[in-house]
Amino acid sequence: MSSRPLAALIRRGVALTSLFALSALSPSWAQAETVPPVPPARPADLTEPPAPVVEAPRPPERPPELSGPAARSEATKPDATKTEDGPLTPPPGSPPPLPPARPAELSGEAALALTVSATDDTACRRRLERLGARFEPLPALSDGQCGAARPLKLTALGDGLAVTPPATLVCGAAEALARWAVEAQVLAERDLSRPLAGLTLGTTYLCRGQNHDPEAKLSEHAFANGIDVMAFSFSGRPDIAVASLPEGTPEAAFLAHARATACGFFRTVLGPGTDAAHGNHLHLDERERTAGHRLCQ
């Protein structure tokens, strides 16, 4: 045991104790210059007073992990470093898959704008797949002024939500329906405490004028761009048919909320109360109007 390192350690100890103002220890240091074993051990402990005594070993270990690949330390010990690694990991992991999907999902309007402006609906079909919808392409429809170049047969929406009977729709309308259905599922849980199981549809594609008037302008149904929703079905409770229901019931609340939400996804939403022709269904379509006007009645 040489006296030089010991003296150095003691000097360090004294310096540290004065630094941290540990007045209780300093008198014993000043008097115990001749005590060899105890003082060398203490300075090491005294370097860590800033951290909690029990967790003293951890702070020195973390900086190396954080400066190295963050993803690796996250994978090996996600629970221990969760809060500290959390903010660091999203940049390397999420950007590739999420950015393409999120902007469209977050904004129904933006998604619709993209859908309508695209003559090629490949991107729309990809989004529809990503939403979990099940569909297959149909041959082009053409009947006088009616028709659709690239119609789809839609059989289910996300989460296995049934579409009964299968719908004949262009992709933009199918996508709007799929996005709205996600909201309707949330509303069903909230208003009825039951999961939505499916939609019962009336007309989708049909070559006819508005409100079945042959003299009227062609309906969006004539372009596979309109949907009539007749009823909602659920797991564990009876269907709810679209109708004017007595206010104050959970069923009426659900219908009102679902209908109001539809206005965020479709350019046209009509239903009970609009007129006699829409007393028993919600008519939803994607008709383009000047200046982006919507019809939500």
Tokens of 227: 């949907």
- Write out the DSSP string of 96-149: TTHHHHHHHHH-HHHHHHHHHH-SS-HHHHHHHHHTT-EEEE-PPEEETTEEES
At 54, the amino acid letter reads V
Nearer CB in complex with Zn ion: 74/228: 228
- Which of the ranges 52-60, 162-170, 227-235, 245-253 carries the binding residues for Zn ion, by CB under 5 A? 227-235
Q: Taking CB positions, which residue lies at the least distance from Zn ion? A: 283
Give the per-residue contact string, 12-31, with Zn ion (x = CB under 5 A; - = no).
--------------------
Q: Stretches 108-116, 157-165, 175-183, 218-226: which one binds Zn ion (CB under 5 A)?
A: 218-226
Nearer to Zn ion, 88 or 207 (CB): 207
Q: Does 278 interact with Zn ion (rule: CB under 5 A)?
A: no
Residue 117 in tokens: 């402006």
- The answer to whether the CB of 166 falls within 8 A of the CB of 128 is no
**Out of 65, 121, 228, 286, the residue judged to bind Zn ion by CB under 5 A:** 228
Q: Per CB under 5 A, which region of 128-136, 147-155, 231-239, 279-287 contacts Zn ion?
A: 279-287
As given in the structure block, the two tokens for residue 128 are 């529809």
Which residue, 150 or 283, has its beta carbon nearer to Zn ion? 283
- Choice between 198 and 226, CB closer to Zn ion: 226
Minimum CB–partner distance for residue 242 and Zn ion (Å): 11
Q: How crowded is the C-beta side of 251, counted as CA atoms within 13 Å?
A: 14
- Judged by CB under 5 A, the chain residues 195 through 214 that form the site for Zn ion are none
User: Based on CB atoms, which residue is closest to Zn ion, 32 or 277?
Assistant: 277
Beta strands in 159-290 (DSSP E): 162-170, 196-201, 226-234, 240-241, 268-270, 282-285
Torsion sign over Cα 25, 28, 32, 36: negative
CA pair distance 126, 221, nearest whole angstrom: 23
Number of residues that bind Zn ion (CB under 5 A): 3
Q: Which stretch binds Zn ion (CB under 5 A): 46-54, 103-111, 149-157, 225-233?
A: 225-233
- Counting contacts by CB under 5 A, is residue 127 touching Zn ion? no
At its nearest, how many Å lie between Zn ion and the CB of residue 173?
11
DSSP code at position 209: B
Task: State the nearest-atom distance from the C-beta of 211 to Zn ion, in Å.
Answer: 9
Angle between helices 122-130 and 98-106 (to 10 degrees): 90
Q: Per rule CB under 5 A, is residue 283 in the interface with Zn ion? A: yes
Q: How far is the CB of 147 from Zn ion (least distance, A)?
A: 17
Binding mask 51-80 for Zn ion (x = CB under 5 A): ------------------------------
Contact 87, 93 (CB under 8 A): no
Q: Measure the CA–CA gap between 250 and 146, rounded to whole angstroms.
A: 40
> Contact residues for Zn ion (CB under 5 A)?
226, 228, 283
